[in-house]
């Protein structure tokens, strides 16, 4: 797996009839002097309480504003939930899945993707009975919810996260799902954090440009890029928190099995298999739990496993990524969020 473990101890209201100037702008432009139309036989149903055409009081208040923004958001891509979240301060809803964060003219630009998403990726440091584990995590709500891999925090007695600005905060494990290798952390009392936009993995295609952000070997906010190499790869990981393999240089790494071969040791008999996105973006120990991002700046996967030749080689000069990494599809993550938020463990 790709964690690194150390053995050391506003919408303005307009009357639907328009102003006189608006109603007759075209006739005047054509040199015709219009006559005022007769009043309607029945007043519009909504006219009561809203004032006359001249100087009437406009509807105001949060309900009107919320409805207006929600309608606009829905029209541009299904963002009603996100609009509601931002206006009400409810941070329990994951960021809008439809709105790209990178302008169309900058699509695929790694520098722009990195600038937009780096503040949404954190380094995760877990204290274990056997030492410590370093991985990554993705902020999914402004109130401090963070998705990471279960194997990064499994068995942890305490967890700290470090944001891209260098701030270190204590986090707690809210829920875990070893069958999908996912865990949800929470920074209590947090607010104003930049949540990552979660996209969809169902439309991902082989050859798509991707960017990975994480903390390999504790190097916070490291950015790499590549393409989607393959889809629906069967990756088998251990569900036993005590199961580990011995990696290069004495670093403990969580094992996985792919293509009939074992990497980072034996996963053991208690395992689970999930369908993964394969990428050639460089992933190294510590990238586990970090973000795999599409060309529009939306998270499409959570990096979870990588093959480093050094994990089975005798020389440290052979260590490092060889472009064979795997990520849990974001559709799997989104489907699991409610369970994780409920505090489920296992």
Question: What residues act catalytically?
Answer: 151, 181, 288
Task: Report d(CA 302, CA 287) in Å as an integer.
Answer: 9
- What 3-state DSSP class applies to 281? coil
Question: Cβ contacts of residue 69 below 8 Å, gap of 6+?
Answer: 11, 83, 87
Question: Cβ contacts of residue 106 below 8 Å, gap of 6+?
Answer: 112
Q: Return the ∠ at Cα 160 (arms to 2 and 299), rounded to 5°.
A: 50
Contact status, residue 193 vs residue 169, Cβ threshold 8 Å? no
Q: What is the β-pairing status of strands 252-253 and 299-308?
A: unpaired
Alpha helices in 163-245 (DSSP H): none
Contact status, residue 246 vs residue 310, Cβ threshold 8 Å? no
Start-to-end Cα distance in the chain: 19
How many CB atoms lie under 10 A from the CB of residue 14?
A: 10
The CA distances from residue 23 to 19, 57, 169, 182, 258, in Å, are 6, 21, 59, 59, 69
Contacts 24+ apart (CB under 8 A), 50-59: 53/15, 53/17, 53/19, 56/15, 58/12, 58/13, 59/13
The CA distances from residue 175 to 144, 182, 196, 198, in Å, are 14, 9, 19, 19
């Amino acid at each position: 797996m790709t964690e690194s473990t150390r053995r050391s101890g506003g919408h303005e209201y307009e009357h639907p009839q328009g102003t006189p100037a608006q109603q007759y702008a075209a006739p005047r432009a054509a040199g015709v002097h219009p006559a005022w139309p007769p009043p309607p036989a029945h007043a519009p149903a909504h006219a009561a309480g809203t004032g006359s055409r001249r100087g009437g009081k406009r509807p105001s208040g949060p309900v009107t504003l919320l409805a207006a923004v929600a309608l606009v958001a829905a029209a541009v891509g299904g963002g009603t939930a996100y609009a509601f979240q931002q206006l009400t301060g409810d941070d329990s809803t994951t960021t809008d899945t439809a709105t790209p964060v990178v302008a169309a003219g900058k699509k695929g630009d790694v520098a722009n993707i990195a600038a937009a998403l780096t503040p949404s990726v954190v380094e995760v440091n877990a204290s274990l009975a056997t030492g410590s584990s370093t991985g990554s995590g993705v902020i999914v709500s402004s109130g401090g919810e963070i998705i990471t891999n279960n194997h990064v925090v499994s068995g942890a007695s305490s967890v700290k996260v470090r944001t891209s600005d260098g701030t270190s905060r204590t986090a707690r494990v809210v829920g875990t799902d070893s069958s999908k290798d996912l865990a949800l952390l929470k920074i209590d009392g947090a607010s104003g954090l930049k949540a990552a936009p979660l996209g969809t993995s169902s439309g991902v295609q082989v050859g798509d440009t991707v960017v990975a952000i994480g903390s390999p070997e504790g190097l916070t906010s490291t950015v790499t890029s590549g393409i989607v190499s393959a889809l629906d790869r069967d990756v088998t990981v251990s569900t036993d928190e005590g199961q580990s393999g011995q990696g290069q240089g004495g670093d403990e790494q969580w094992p996985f099995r792919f293509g009939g071969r074992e990497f980072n040791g034996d996963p053991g008999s208690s395992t689970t298999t999930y369908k993964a996105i394969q990428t050639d973006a460089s992933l190294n120990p510590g990238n586990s739990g970090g973000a795999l991002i599409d060309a529009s700046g939306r998270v499409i996967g959570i990096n979870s496993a990588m093959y480093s030749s050094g994990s089975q080689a005798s020389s440290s000069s052979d260590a490092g990524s060889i472009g064979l990494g795997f990520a849990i599809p974001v559709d799997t993550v989104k489907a699991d969020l409610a369970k994780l938020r409920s505090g489920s463990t296992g």
